[in-house]
Amino acid sequence: MAAPLSPTAQTAATHCVNGRPLTNRWLALTLLVFVAMLNYADRFLMSGLAEPIKAQFGIGDAAMGALMGPAFVLLYTVFALPIARLADRRSRVVIVATGCAVWSFFTLLSGMATSPAMLALSRVGVGIGEAAYQAPAAALIAAYFPVEQRGRAFALLGTAIYFGQMMGFAGGPAIAAVYDWRAAFHALGVAGLVIAAATFLIVREPARETAAHAALVPPLWPTLRLLVGTPSLRHLAALLAFGTLSGVTFGMWGPALFERAYGLSTRDAGAAFALSFGLPGLAGMLGFGVLADRRGRNDPTVQMRLSAFALGGCTLLIIVVTWLDNFTLARILAVPAGLLGGGWSVAVMAGLQYLLPNAYRATGTAIVLLVTGLFATVLGPLVAGQVSDWIAGTGAMGLRIGLSVALPTAAIGVWAARAAIHTLERDHTALKVAAGENG
By the 8 A CB rule, do 400 and 257 touch?
yes
Query: What is d(CA 162, CA 19) in angstroms, rounded to the nearest whole number?
Result: 38
Compute φ and ψ for 47, nearest 5 degrees. -75, -45
Cα 220 to Cα 38, 225, 364: the distances in Å are 31, 9, 11
By the 8 A CB rule, do 44 and 253 touch?
no
- What pLDDT is recorded for position 378? 67
- What pLDDT is recorded for position 169? 78
Cα 353 to Cα 133, 170, 281, 292, 397: the distances in Å are 16, 33, 23, 14, 42
pLDDT in tens, 66-112: 676 666 666 677 777 788 778 777 788 899 999 999 989 999 998 88
Compute φ and ψ for 10, nearest 5 degrees. -60, -40
- What pLDDT is recorded for position 281? 83
Query: At 218, is the secondary structure helix, strand, or coil?
Result: coil
Cα 74 to Cα 136, 213, 412: the distances in Å are 19, 32, 24
By the 8 A CB rule, do 328 and 355 touch?
no
Q: Which residue type does 205 have?
A: E
- What pLDDT is recorded for position 439? 45
Written as one string, the DSSP assignment of 18-62 is TTEEPPPHHHHHHHHHHHHHHHHHHHHHHHHTHHHHHHHHT--HH
By the 8 A CB rule, do 330 and 255 touch?
no
Query: What is d(CA 164, CA 159) in angstroms, rounded to the nearest whole number?
Result: 8
- What pLDDT is recorded for position 190? 93
> Which top CATH class is 16-434?
mainly alpha
- What pLDDT is recorded for position 42? 82
Query: What is d(CA 367, CA 84) in angstroms, rounded to the nearest whole number?
Result: 9
Query: What is d(CA 422, CA 439) in angstroms, rounded to the nearest whole number?
Result: 20
| Ranges in the chain, pLDDT < 70 | 1-22, 66, 68-75, 207-218, 296-298, 377-378, 381-382, 392-395, 436-439
By the 8 A CB rule, do 363 and 84 touch?
yes
Spell out the residues 6+ positions from residue 55 whose beta carbon is closer than 8 angstroms to its own: none
Query: What is d(CA 254, CA 277) in angstroms, rounded to the nearest whole number?
Result: 10
- What pLDDT is recorded for position 13? 43
Spell out the residues 6+ positions from residue 128 whose beta carbon is closer than 8 angstroms to its own: 75, 76, 79, 102, 103, 106
Dihedral angle sign, alpha carbons of residues 340, 71, 185, 266: negative
- What pLDDT is recorded for position 437? 61
Q: How many Cα atoms are found within 13 Å in the side-chain-facing hemisphere of 253?
A: 40
Query: What is d(CA 65, CA 384) in angstroms, rounded to the nearest whole number?
Result: 8
Written as one string, the DSSP assignment of 340-404 is HHTTHHHHHHHHHHHHS-GGGHHHHHHHHHHHHIIIIIHHHHHHHHHHHHHHHTTSHHHHHHHHH
By the 8 A CB rule, do 38 and 191 touch?
yes
- What pLDDT is recorded for position 8? 40
By the 8 A CB rule, do 139 and 365 touch?
yes
Spell out the residues 6+ positions from residue 82 whose beta carbon is closer than 8 angstroms to its own: none
Spell out the residues 6+ positions from residue 37 whose beta carbon is closer than 8 angstroms to its own: 160, 163, 164, 167
- What pLDDT is recorded for position 207? 67
Query: What is d(CA 314, CA 431) in angstroms, rounded to the nearest whole number?
Result: 33
- What pLDDT is recorded for position 393? 58
- What pLDDT is recorded for position 176? 86
Is this prediction's pTM over 0.75?
no
